Chains A and B, each alone.
Chain A
């Protein structure tokens, strides 16, 4: 509550808004993470582009977003001014935490951004390519330790998918979960783990500085400016992206839903938003309407199956 209060005082002091609050965005994570940054970037863009006069961001951290989504679904029913930021990690967390509230209990509006996963090794490693890595993995799955983000998250899922595609039992994957990209990066740079797996942005600086060797990227096609083969080109049929989305409250009328979707479309096409994507290195993966809903259903099904394969979901 105090967050709200302080934030509104501060926002008021800076922007001197003329009208009442339009949107309140919940970031179901602590300040600083990807969802929080997405929410705050949306806030800036919505205000700068005058799509909304006043936007507040509220953090409800915990359990891969499942705490936030549960609170959002129960408290904001039918409220057209509330938005929730979420993403692929939430899909996995809902499954592993057996969350009673799922993405079905909110109104997904659009996918906004995404980041592809990359596989790296320290520059000093004798692993030069994905082929070297899979050879080592096939010989002894446990000997390849993968450093990445939280258990059951995108990084972990990617490691599982790679093992599966290489014909290795995914339950044998020696995945070492770190509490954040930063800690994982330190372990990779320090040579504590064999390989690292995370979104490209986490490793970009180190790859450019030559401290990490980029083996492959999880995109469908090669990305301009990133000098690495895709996993597909390396012989592993894995395509995955860590996407982020925005959802609205449950129980909205079709008109309310349309109005929100229109605002989000304006946001996604706006110059401020596009500029922020560039500075942050996020890829524009804007997708809305039935196409997004179909993609979401597909992602949820695929995630459930791989989490079962890894053994995180029974």
Chain B
């Protein structure tokens, strides 16, 4: 049978009424648990996987696909509405999404996230079905030096995308980089900056940091303003639905997000958050409304959310084709597959075509169910914002705290949450952007490890970094991204850049 026939067969079995109900249950459960801050998709899937064991293979794969996509999507809801990202890949969503929500545009933000997730999920799942074997070959070409070059590119494009003052942005970035040094060094197993505190051995948890920086810092900031604070939170302004201009600004961002997210998700050491960072930086460069970035630009939600979901599907590429679990979620899925005696790996497509195509068809169905479930809920979710401010922020504090303890039950973790919340408050008061702190915390260790691995493999020969064509191209792009704006500004022709951006359309 051909690829296409297998897929149709899988779709036919996934469309059976009972299986559709399983998909709906899976998506609902996944979204419900995913909405809780601090509980990312990995934990959601781990918690809910046993539910699927009671079903037959097809039914459980479908429910499982629903849980996976539901969990991925659930995190963005809390990011947008409450500014408490549940996992690192929805941090960027909080940046613009929450600003939109406060400006009464929570509805369009949630809708563009849901539709963007659907579009990206659809394209990426189809890509998984048809080009997985090619993508995986490309992903394997990426070794430590290529990853290092990618990280350099990410640093440069991303750090220029946050905030208006380069100095303040860089200061924040370096706070993040310093914090990222804490913990056991991956390559030698030695402790760094942990000061004998066992809780610091594994470094500073990104989600704890994100929740502290976004939710706690913000709550303190609002509380400190007391009665004088202008009541900026406006639940609904204009339509709850996306306007024509929202659509026009979103669709290209969705597609670009998908194109960025899928291959990065497929890379064994890529990680979903890097795709979201790059997508955000791309959207900020290309937008025709640069003034809206930082104040709630819809592209800044649409692109990263699409990238996030596309990379979720991308993660399945190495899992299904090589048996490589490249994320915690994928590792749990691997355990799930083994329940049916299914051994993901190079022979899977040949030995178990029914199950593989069943899974891919299930993902497509789950993706559709996600949209069906979430679009009607948008109206309900935005009502959350009509809760009086003291209640809303008290609720955010409770959720943030519960989520942190839920993910990491320790008193120390809670202490860190509060301390970094205070740090974030001070940073806000002095107008330092907080997102670069998180970027530094995530990208810092990746860049460092890959650089050291590359140098260890070459036995200290630095030229290895530019000897691979891919790494050289990526580094050249990074250099251009760094130097070009400087040259243009120097020549007083900064407007060329915006023209270039405009001519992209």
A positions within 8 Å CB-CB of B? 1-3, 6-7, 10-11, 13-14, 30-33, 36-37, 40, 44, 59-63, 66-67, 70-71, 96-97, 99, 142-143, 145, 150-152, 156, 174, 176-183, 185-187, 189-190, 192-193, 204-206, 208-209, 211, 279-280, 312
Whole-angstrom distance between the Cβ of A90 and the nearest chain B Cβ: 13
Cα-based distance from A1 to B46 in the complex (angstroms): 15
* Complex interface residues of chain B between 347 and 375 (CB less than 8 A to chain A): 347-348
Contact partners of A187 in chain B: CB under 8 A:
143-144, 268
> Do A312 and B189 touch (CB < 8 A)?
yes
| B186 shortest CB reach to chain A, Å | 6
Complex CA gap A59/B457 in Å reads: 35
User: Given the complex of chains A and B, what is the CA–CA distance between A281 and B186 in angstroms?
Assistant: 28
- CB within 8 Å of A: which B4-51 residues: 33, 36, 39, 42-43, 45-48, 50-51
**A213 shortest CB reach to chain B, Å:** 14
User: Which residues on the B side are within 8 Å of A11 (C-beta)?
Assistant: 50
Asked if A32 meets B457 with Cβ closer than 8 Å, knowing A62-B201, A177-B187, A189-B140, the reply is no
Chain B residues contacting A145 (CB-CB under 8 Å) are 456-457
Count the B residues whose beta carbon is within 8 Å of the partner chain — how many? 67
Contacts of B346 in A (CB 8 A): 205-206, 208-209, 211
CB distance from A262 to the nearest CB of B (A): 26
Q: Which residues of A lie under 8 Å from residue B326 when comparing CB positions? A: 182-183, 186
Question: In the assembled complex, how far is the CB of residue A41 from the closest CB belonging to chain B, in whole angstroms?
Answer: 9
- Does B405 reach chain A (CB closer than 8 Å)? yes
Q: Does B246 contact A (CB under 8 A)?
A: no
Q: Out of A97, A176, A181, A182, name the residue touching B457 (CB < 8 Å).
A: A176
Tell whether, in the assembled complex, residue A63 and residue B201 are in contact, meaning their CB atoms are under 8 Å apart: yes
In the bound complex, residues from chain B placing their C-beta under 8 Å from that of A31 are 42-43, 45-46, 328, 331-332
18 other A-B residue contacts (CB within 8 Å) besides A156-B189, A208-B345: A3-B47, A6-B47, A32-B46, A62-B202, A63-B184, A66-B201, A67-B201, A97-B189, A142-B459, A143-B459, A182-B325, A185-B268, A185-B324, A186-B142, A205-B346, A206-B346, A208-B347, A211-B346
Contact present for A66 and B406 (CB under 8 Å): no
Give Cα A279–Cα B338 distance, bound, in whole angstroms.
7
Residue of B nearest to A92 (CB): B189
B47 and A186 contacting across the interface, CB-CB below 8 Å = no
- When chains A and B are docked, how far (Å) is the Cα of A297 from the Cα of B189? 23
B343 at the interface (CB under 8 A from A): yes
A sample of 25 cross-chain residue pairs with beta-carbon separation below 8 angstroms, ordered by A number, consists of A3-B406, A3-B409, A6-B47, A32-B42, A32-B46, A32-B330, A32-B331, A62-B199, A62-B201, A63-B198, A67-B198, A97-B184, A150-B186, A151-B187, A156-B189, A174-B456, A176-B457, A179-B269, A182-B268, A183-B268, A186-B322, A187-B268, A205-B343, A206-B323, A206-B346
Which one, A32, A151, A190, contacts B325 given CB within 8 A?
A32
B175-200 vs A, CB cutoff 8 Å, 1 = contact: the mask equals 00000000011111111000000110
Interchain CA distance A209-B329 in the complex, whole Å: 25
Residue from B36, B48, B53 in contact with A2 in the complex, judged by beta carbons closer than 8 Å: B36
Q: Given A63-B201, A279-B338 in contact, is the A206-B184 Cβ separation under 8 Å?
A: no
In the complex, whether B141 has a CB less than 8 A from a CB of chain A is yes
Check if A190 sits within 8 Å of B142, measured CB to CB.
yes
B495 interface residue per 8 A CB criterion: no
Residues of B within 8 A of A312 (CB): 188-190
Contact with A along B44-70 (1 / 0, CB 8 A): 011110110110000000000000000
Question: A186 to B335, alpha carbons, bound, how many Å?
Answer: 19
In the complex, chain A residues whose CB is within 8 Å of the CB of B185: 151
On chain A, the residues within 8 Å of B48 by CB distance are 10
Q: B142 to chain A: which residues have CB within 8 Å?
A: 186, 190
- Asked if B453 and A1 make an inter-chain contact with CB atoms under 8 angstroms apart, the answer reads no
The 4 closest A-B pairs by CB, nearest first: A205-B345, A32-B331, A2-B406, A151-B189
CB distance from B317 to the nearest CB of A (A): 11
Question: Contacts A67-B199, A182-B318 given: A30-B457 contact, CB under 8 Å?
Answer: no
- Residues in B with CB closer than 8 Å to A150 are 186, 189
How far is the CB of B338 from the nearest CB of chain A, in Å? Answer: 5
**B189-A152 in contact (CB<8A):** yes
B455 to chain A, nearest CB (A): 10
> B341 at interface (Cβ–Cβ under 8 A)?
yes
Which residue of the partner chain A has the closest CB to B459? Answer: A142
- In angstroms, Cα B191 to Cα A37, docked, is 27
- Determine whether B344 belongs to the interface, using a CB cutoff of 8 Å to chain A: yes
- CB of B198 within 8 A of CB of A185, answer no
Q: How far is the CA of A40 from the CA of B49 in the complex (A)?
A: 11
**A304 CA to B102 CA in the complex, in Å?**
57
Q: Judge whether A186 and B140 touch: CB under 8 Å.
A: yes
Judge whether B466 is part of the interface by a CB distance below 8 angstroms: no
Residues of B within 8 A of A180 (CB): 325, 331
Q: How many angstroms from the CA of A179 to the CA of B450 in the assembled complex?
A: 11
Cα–Cα, bound, A304→B458 (Å)? 30
* Chain B residues near A209 (CB-CB < 8 A): 345-347
CA distance A102 to B348 in the complex (A): 41
B198, A192: Cβ atoms closer than 8 Å: no
In the bound assembly, the distance between CA atoms of A71 and B201 in angstroms comes to 14
Please, which residues of chain B bring their CB within 8 A of the CB of A10?
47-48, 50-51
Q: Which A-chain residue is minimally distant from B29 (CB atoms)?
A: A10
B240: min CB distance to chain A, Å: 31
A14: chain B residues within 8 A (beta carbon): 50-51, 54
Query: Which of A97, A174, A182, A204 lies in contact with B201, CB distance below 8 A?
Result: A97
A155 to chain B, nearest CB (A): 12
- Nearest neighbor of A97 in chain B, beta-carbon distance: B201
B397-430 toward A: CB 8 Å interface, digit per residue (1/0)? 0000011011011100000000000000000000
Q: Which residues from A are CB-within-8-Å of B408?
A: 61
Query: Which residues of A are found within 8 Å of B347, using beta-carbon distances?
Result: 205, 208-209
B268 cross-chain contacts in A, Cβ below 8 A: 182-183, 185-187
Q: How far is the CB of B241 from chain A (nearest CB, A)?
A: 33
Neighbour of B332 across the interface among A32, A99, A178, A193, CB < 8 A: A32
B141: chain A residues within 8 A (beta carbon): 190
Q: Is the CB of A190 within 8 A of B406?
A: no
Residues of B within 8 A of A176 (CB): 144, 187, 453, 456-457
Taken together as a complex, chains A and B put the C-alpha atoms of A279 and B191 apart, in Å, by 37
Verify B202–A63 contact, CB threshold 8 A.
Answer: yes
In the bound complex, residues from chain B placing their C-beta under 8 Å from that of A32 are 42, 46, 325, 328-332, 334-335
Chain A nearest CB, measured from B80 CB (Å): 22
A70 nearest CB neighbor, chain B only = B198
CA distance A3 to B40 in the complex (A): 12
Whether B42 and A186, one on each chain, are in contact in the complex, defined by CB atoms closer than 8 angstroms, is no
Q: Which residue of B lies closest to A275 (CB)?
A: B341
A151 CB contacts on chain B under 8 angstroms? 185-189
Is B341's CB under 8 angstroms from A279's CB?
yes
Q: Mark B233-273, 1 if CB is under 8 A from A, else 0.
A: 00000000000000000000000000000000000110000
